Structure 1
Amino acid sequence: MHTAVITHLRCPVCRAPFSSASSAERALRCAQGHSFDIARQGYADLTAGRPVHTGDTTEMVAARAALLAAGHFEALTAAVADVVAREEPGPVVEVGAGTAHYLARSIGTTENAGIAVDTSKPALKRAAKAGERIGAIRADVWQGLPIADHAAAVILDIFAPRSGAEFARVLRPGGALVVATPAAGHLAELVAALGLIRVDPAKRERLHKTLDADFVPSAERRIRAPLALTRSDAHALVGMGPSAWHTDPAAVAEALERMPEPIAATLDVDLTVWRPR
């Protein structure tokens, strides 16, 4: 794990900084003697306990990787990267990072360090390989992030869990919290055809309830783009999101077989930027 990442991490037990890990040690150690192994795949488990949720499965992660690699969410990816490019240089943290797709694109060839946070081990295995200056750590935002106070220039939260108080602690004054949430029309065609989970009509209110105590909104953008999907793409879209936990894969596959290609859908996302109060 790159030193530029390790310097911003903190021990989840005592909050002390870590010393740099050597390739031979493959562990992070703090001055108090707490030690956390760096997995063979390159990520560090800093949960120091059992996470509330174990995150996406291997199948869900593979579906997300395939869908993003096909470029169907390029409009969102580019918009997120554009926001980060306008901010002051510094570490970028992605919470619920999955494969670290948005993080890798956002830091690009800059000198910014990237910290990918997730509870899913299959996701972290991929995130650890997303870029030389990206460090992948297993942590649960609800239990606290093992990251130094005010370390991040930007926090990315793309369809991920949110903790306003913890984000405010980690983000530097004047930094940016970038949040992407599904809008009303997101994948509406697939929702109707396949009986997927619908977007909560109160999502905007819930977002403000989560963040208003610690942040103020500074910018908002609606991102809409038509999608032309193969059946495989559509199946990946179902398999990478919350509907994967609530649908029968065989029934979804059968329904998709009856739909002519390309399958039309709509990317419809609200992208908001928040600043610390």
Structure 2
Amino acid sequence: MSGLDWLRCPHCAAPLTRTPGALRCAAGHSFDIARQGYVNLLGRAAPANADTPAMLEARARFLAAGHYAPLADAVAAATAGAGRILEVGAGTGYYLARALDAHPDAEGLASDVSPAAARRAARAHPRAAAIVADTWAGLPVADGAVDAVLCVFAPRNPAEFARVLAPGGRVVVAVPTAEHLAALRTRHGLLDVAGDKTDALLAGFPGWEAHVRPVRWRADLAADAVADLIAMGPNAFHGLPEGVPAESVAAAVDVVTLVRP
């Protein structure tokens, strides 16, 4: 299971080593490897806003159909040359898997605060492992262990990203713009997207070299795909519209690569 070798104990920060069926540190803290292949390093119950199995199922169907392939291709391209890739807020592990497919020598680790997500991500790619962890609370990953951090529509922690990245490592962030799915959001009363998200991201990484790649595409969605698109994200917590029609949607995302100083 690639990626598990990069971990440190969430209690004492000592390196974790594999024993049969578990990871253990020198202080005796032990964490079972679930039969599905992931390790829960959260140490508490998942928060109420963690991805649910229903959200993940909708996302898996939607992404498997290729509707966000242009974004996945851009994210994968931004990880070229990275031998160790960590995806935070990984969900199903789709973007990490696409990056690993593009780079046969790379290894991956998917992290998500949802056990249901880690369970799925553990099966996303043979060169990836998965953990349950909270990006905001601190990542159980060794200092300088990774070459690239992926953050696709997910929480960010600049200080932790800087800590776990090797010198010259990069963070690849997918940021929705105000135009992203704008007509769909208006029609169904979905959550708004702030217009300054990319600027806010850059302000959170002062001194980092930044490269912004706008990614724009249209997706012609059948009614069931529209329903999955709405159900796969945070709108699922605010009630889902019924009887949505087929629709052609305009996607507008900035893929921002930030290089650690």
TM-score tier after normalising by the smaller chain length: over 0.9
Conserved 8 A contact 1:163-1:211:
no
Q: CA RMSD in A?
A: 1.5
Conserved 8 A contact 2:4-2:109:
no
2:33 to 13, 31, 38: 38
User: Deviation per CA, 1:165-208, whole angstroms, max 9, x where unpaired?
Assistant: 00000111111110001012111121121111111123234323
What SS does the aligned partner of 2:154 have? coil
User: Deviation per CA, 1:51-102, whole angstroms, max 9, x where unpaired?
Assistant: 55551011110111011001000100111111112x3x42100000001101
Question: What code does the residue aligned with 1:222 have?
Answer: P
Alignment gaps of 5+ in structure 2:
none
What SS does the aligned partner of 1:63 have? helix
User: Deviation per CA, 1:136-164, whole angstroms, max 9, x where unpaired?
Assistant: 00000111100000111100000000000
Question: What code does the residue aligned with 2:29 have?
Answer: H
Match in the other structure for 2:126: 132
* Count of residue pairs the alignment pairs up: 260
Is residue 2:177 matched to residue 1:183? Answer: yes
Match in the other structure for 2:50: 55
Match in the other structure for 2:84: 91
Is residue 2:222 matched to residue 1:230? Answer: yes
Conserved 8 A contact 1:51-1:139:
no
Please say which of residues 43-52 and 11-20 is displaced more in the overlay.
Answer: 43-52
Match in the other structure for 2:162: 168
Match in the other structure for 1:118: 112
Runs of 4+ with deviation above 4 angstroms:
50-54
How far did 1:210 drift? 2.7
Conserved 8 A contact 1:93-1:154:
yes
Is residue 2:99 matched to residue 1:106? Answer: yes
CA distance in 1, matches of 2:108, 2:35: 19
Conserved 8 A contact 1:96-1:161:
yes
2:8 to 7, 10, 14: 10
2:235 to 228, 237, 243: 243
Match in the other structure for 2:208: 216
Question: What code does the residue aligned with 1:273 have?
Answer: T
Alignment gaps of 5+ in structure 1:
none
CA distance in 2, matches of 1:210, 1:51: 26
CA distance in 1, matches of 2:25, 2:127: 21
TM-score by length of 2: 0.95
